[in-house]
Amino acid sequence: MTQEHQADRATARRLRIRGQVQGVGFRPFVWQLAQRMGVKGAVWNDAEGVQIIASGGDLDAFEAALQSQAPALARIDSVDSTAEDQGECRLDFIIASSQGTGSDTGVTPDAATCDACLAEVRDPSQRRYGYAFANCTQCGPRFSILRGIPYDREMTSMARFPMCTACRAEYQDPQDRRFHAQPIACPACGPRIWLEADGAEISGDALCLSTQRLQRGEILAIKGLGGFHLACDARNPAAIATLRLRKRRPAKAFALMGTLPMIRRHAAVGSDEEALLEDPSAVIVLLAKSGAPLPENVAPGLATLGWMLPYTPLHHLLLDAVDGPLVMTSGNASGEPQAIGNAEAREKLGGFADAFLMHDRDIVHRLDDSVERLTPHGPLVLRRGRGRVPRTLPLPPGFEEAPQVAAYGGQIKSSLCLLKNGRALLSHHLGDLDDPLTWDAYRQAAADYARLFDHRPSVVACDLHPDLRASRLAAVQACDLPLIEVQHHHAHLGACMAENHWPLDAGPVAGIILDGLGLGTDDTIWGGEVLVGDYLDFTRAASLVPAPLAGGDAAGREPWRNAVMRLDQAGLADLADTLFRDHPRAVLRQAAKTGINAPPSSSVGRLFDAMAACLGLASDRQSHEGEAAMRLEALAQCAPDAFDTPYPFERRNAQIDSAAMFQSWASDHADGVPAKVSAARFHAGLARAFASAARTEIEAGRAGAVALSGGCFQNAMLLDLVKRHLKDIPVLIQTRTPANDGGLALGQAVIAAARTMRGV
């Protein structure tokens, strides 16, 4: 062996890279780095991430560059380095074949089309000109097409498309940005698009034909990355009305897709909003209406619009041709999961769409678009989906030895969470489990995540309510394993603490948990709580005075019911009779008196409904969950000066009473005070009341910080007002996981892990 080879052998290292390092061009990046730095050896994918054998050159600099110069889509969790006696040393550096089965590594989310691929698609001299499926190692489908690990082409839905000679040459060239890009394709060998109507393909250019139909006011079903969208011209009120009528969606806002200049014409876009829009995740971002108005029926009664940039070449090509924004709403019947298969779309969406813009690349994982909004305190995640999953979260200090846990979430805005190797995998939004098709999709997702991530739980967690479908499935899946039931609002608290890396042994926090409904430990319905607790247990320090949910589930659909109950409670029955004279108040009051189908509830979500109904907002019936509260927030934004005069909420011992608030509002109503002022004063009073209760716990030394969680904290105005009252206190909020029930599974998982480790 030469002296040079002996030196190489003495300095050889084995590097283990964990994190989001597959499907992001990491191996070709390592190869190119090795060429530049004179390093010899090999790199390959395996079940845990990426492994490297390296010798020669400056290995300290090489190891440091792996993190400092990593590809944009990479997320490195750790780099473990050990000395390696590698035997006979290589004289070059190679990319070796993937090894092993199973998955202990991160899977890359789908990523929006990069600038380089988009430039090719728009350049007539390029062979991918006008091609709807151009991608490279820095963009394109990932999780949505993945069937198994390691992330190689044969494990994706691209396996059925053999590469042509030209694509194969790019794939095998380490100098090319498509080197080992698993979804690589071109018009000669990859997927294709076509337009069809009445089950038959229409001859001609699919994009041109689609554009003509959209411009005529027709509705198109368009197959995307994670499922089908229903699309129409966002400037055409008649087309939007037709879509609403067909989809039976009278008021819920439609998502919009446009280029950045298009969005700027209709919405306020600051630098932070622009950065979020242009993130590779391409989420839907709620933006304030501004500039040229779009038809009011895009988002009735709201001050914001949900916008996203085009995130596939197909979307870019379509917007270029239409030259205007498009409504781009989920392709599903109300309450059902989004269609992903061509045959499924024909069956489910045939009554909605005039034509279908199809392609033949299978969608393996159904993924709704992620929805987020920006606040002065960071982003709020309203729905976690395409572009964000299956990215994992690190567990807080103290959870290093956490067992593998499977948590099953809640009934509405359901999700799953898996704990493994010190990280949490929170699934995409799965929907309302009351719907049979969503229930089927939820069970399939549970099986898919367990298989894909080689998850073998030793503990199962679920909601305290035993009759939820998610809880029943958890009980079946647990079999002989421990099943840990977690109270709904404690799970909200746990999720907020976990996201903020609150250590296991850091002591309790005061959680302001405001949401719709959750079964309490006293068998009543909670929803407006101040909890003092940690990952192991909690106490209920304060709560909203309960009111009957007269009619049970109907109280969540019909805000007037909550208004009558709260007004009666405040001694304002005569006003309730005046405001809701056309409603069956006597029957409602009898139910409340007898307690038949009228369980008491401290729900702040239902309090929002009551106030909205008093102000005439969606009082008879909500067409979708949260409609009344969203319209109340939008109205309050019109009277910012009124935040300085909050309505009073009285606090008696451990209860926060809304009676004085309604009495003050009744006085304003009699004096003709504008509804927008009352909406603002309501928000301000509610924020002050709960912030004050949490502050009491901090000042008494019973908690070290305040955590804000629950669906009501997706109201950016409420969040801001509460934080103002707590400005000198550490406050934990959720910016990467949903504060609504979409984050429950994370809280259940960490609480179950903590109790298991502590033997509680």
Q: Averaged over 276-281, what is the pLDDT?
A: 97
Label residue 407 by pLDDT band (50, 70, 90).
Answer: very high
Q: Kind and range of the H or E element at 288?
A: strand 284-288
Report pLDDT for 3. Answer: 41
Q: Averaged over 85-110, what is the pLDDT?
A: 73
Structural fold of domain 3-95: Alpha-Beta Plaits (3.30.70)
Q: Give the amino acid at 320.
A: D
Q: Give the amino acid at 285.
A: V
As a whole number of angstroms, the distance between CA 298 and CA 394 comes to: 39
Residue 72 has pLDDT above 90, yes or no: no
Residue 11 has pLDDT above 80, yes or no: no
CA atoms within 13 A on the CB side of 468: 24
Query: Do 511-732 and 193-359 have the same topology in CATH?
Result: no
As a whole number of angstroms, the distance between CA 364 and CA 159 comes to: 12
83 pairs with which residues across the strands?
13
Distances (CA, A) of 246 to 230, 242, 249, 333, 543: 11, 6, 8, 9, 42
Residue 89 has pLDDT above 90, yes or no: no
Please give the model's pTM, rounded to 2 decimal places: 0.94
Residue 10 has pLDDT above 60, yes or no: no
Average pLDDT for the chain: 94
Query: How buried is 481 (Cβ within 10 angstroms: 0-12 exposed, 13-18 middle, 19+ buried)?
Result: middle
Report pLDDT for 8. Answer: 44
Label residue 7 by pLDDT band (50, 70, 90).
Answer: very low
CATH 3.30.420.40 matches 511-732 = yes
CATH 3.40.50.1820 matches 193-359 = no
Long-range contacts from 428-432, C-beta under 8 angstroms, 24+ separation = 428/365, 428/367, 428/368, 428/384, 428/385, 428/386, 428/388, 428/389, 428/390, 429/368, 429/383, 429/384, 429/385, 429/738, 429/742, 430/337, 431/335, 431/337, 432/335
Q: Kind and range of the H or E element at 298?
A: none
Q: Averaged over 318-333, what is the pLDDT?
A: 96
As a whole number of angstroms, the distance between CA 297 and CA 286 comes to: 16
As a whole number of angstroms, the distance between CA 112 and CA 73 comes to: 11
Give the lowest-confidence range in 91-95, 654-658, 721-725.
91-95
Query: How buried is 205 (Cβ within 10 angstroms: 0-12 exposed, 13-18 middle, 19+ buried)?
Result: middle
In the chain, where are the structural domains located?
3-95, 193-359, 392-500+738-758, 511-732
Q: pLDDT digit string (tens) for 121-147?
A: 999 999 999 999 999 999 999 999 999
As a whole number of angstroms, the distance between CA 354 and CA 195 comes to: 11
Label residue 262 by pLDDT band (50, 70, 90).
Answer: very high
Report pLDDT for 249. Answer: 92
Q: Tell me what percent of the residues of the chain surpass a pLDDT of 70.
A: 97
* Antiparallel, parallel or unpaired: β 40-46 and 93-95: parallel
Q: Kindly report the backbone phi and psi dihedral angles of residue 618, in degrees, each rounded to the nearest multiple of 5, phi listed first.
A: 50, 40
Q: Kind and range of the H or E element at 195?
A: strand 193-197
DSSP string, 371-426: EEEEETTEEEEEE--BTTTT--EEPPTT-TTPPPEEE---SSSB--EEEETTEEEE
Q: pLDDT digit string (tens) for 451-485?
A: 988 899 999 999 999 999 999 999 999 999 999 99
Report whether 43 contacts 96 (CB < 8 A). yes
Q: Kindly report the backbone phi and psi dihedral angles of residue 270, in degrees, each rounded to the nearest multiple of 5, phi listed first.
A: -90, -175
Label residue 174 by pLDDT band (50, 70, 90).
Answer: confident
Label residue 149 by pLDDT band (50, 70, 90).
Answer: confident
* Antiparallel, parallel or unpaired: β 547-548 and 600-601: antiparallel
Q: pLDDT digit string (tens) for 219-255?
A: 999 999 999 999 999 999 999 999 999 999 999 999 9
Instruction: Residue 266: name the closest of 288, 230, 291, 243 by CA.
Output: 291
Q: Kindly report the backbone phi and psi dihedral angles of residue 161, in degrees, each rounded to the nearest multiple of 5, phi listed first.
A: -115, 90
Sign of the C-alpha dihedral computed for residues 591, 612, 240 and 361 taken in this order? negative
As a whole number of angstroms, the distance between CA 98 and CA 51 comes to: 10
Q: pLDDT digit string (tens) for 296-324?
A: 999 999 999 999 999 999 999 999 999 99
Report pLDDT for 335. Answer: 81
Residue 46 has pLDDT above 90, yes or no: no
Class of domain 392-500+738-758: alpha beta
Report pLDDT for 86. Answer: 58
Q: pLDDT digit string (tens) for 528-543?
A: 999 999 999 999 999 9
Residue 71 has pLDDT above 50, yes or no: yes
Instruction: With both helix axes pointing from N to C terminus, report the angle between 585-594 and 559-569 in degrees, rounded to the nearest 10.
Output: 60
Report whether 551 contacts 597 (CB < 8 A). yes
Report whether 494 contacts 746 (CB < 8 A). yes
Q: Kindly report the backbone phi and psi dihedral angles of residue 257, in degrees, each rounded to the nearest multiple of 5, phi listed first.
A: -125, 135
Report pLDDT for 104. Answer: 61
Label residue 5 by pLDDT band (50, 70, 90).
Answer: very low
Please tell me the chain's helix, strand, coil percentages from 3-state DSSP, rounded to the nearest 5: 35, 20, 45
Residue 718 has pLDDT above 70, yes or no: yes
Residue 551 has pLDDT above 70, yes or no: yes
Report pLDDT for 77. Answer: 86
